[in-house]
Amino acid sequence: MKKIRCALAVAAMSTVLLSGVADAAPAKYRHSEAAAQFRKAGISWVSSKGCSDWNKRGCTSFTNINRTTVAGVIAFKKLSKCPVVITAGTEVGHASGKYSHRNGYKVDMSTRGGCLDRYITRHFKKAGTRSDGAKLYTSPSGNVYAREGNHWDVTYYNGRA
């Protein structure tokens, strides 16, 4: 009986300690940390205004980007073997929402050269069309790639491609 009570107490304590883990805020990078990770992986980025201030439109910032987003971009580059150029990160000027650029879940990637288009459309599952007309593709790991004009708007829910 003591063993059963002890086991129940441990199970209850584990439940209390682990409750809310799924709701925990994702780990974040500072701009310089994310930029260093991207640089090391051979990923480049551009800014229409040549800046990285996350409070200015036209800049490309990685301030408060999720670590899983950075890992996802790197994993995608390795898997696709495509050159990856990020054209937007966490800076102001994007749609709001839980899984937004500002909250660190999204990046935009340039379609220049066509490699990303070919890889995504051949290897990822078609997932319909977004309300703005963007064609959606879902990677095997559940991340969403939306074709918007001259770039891919990518939502990383995890650190895989």
Tens of pLDDT, residue by residue over 10-45, are 344 444 444 444 568 899 999 999 999 999 999 999
Each residue of 75-110: pLDDT tens digit? 999 999 999 999 999 999 999 999 999 999 999 999
Across 132-140, average pLDDT: 97
Cα separation, 67 vs 159, in Å, equals 8
pLDDT of residue 25: 84
Mean pLDDT of the chain: 89
Across 37-66, average pLDDT: 96
Q: How many CA atoms lie within 13 A of 83 on its CB side?
A: 9
Strands 85-88, 125-129: pairing kind:
unpaired
Instruction: Give alpha helix (H) positions in the chain.
Output: 2-18, 31-40, 67-80, 115-123
pLDDT of residue 23: 63
Cβ–Cβ < 8 Å for 108, 151: yes
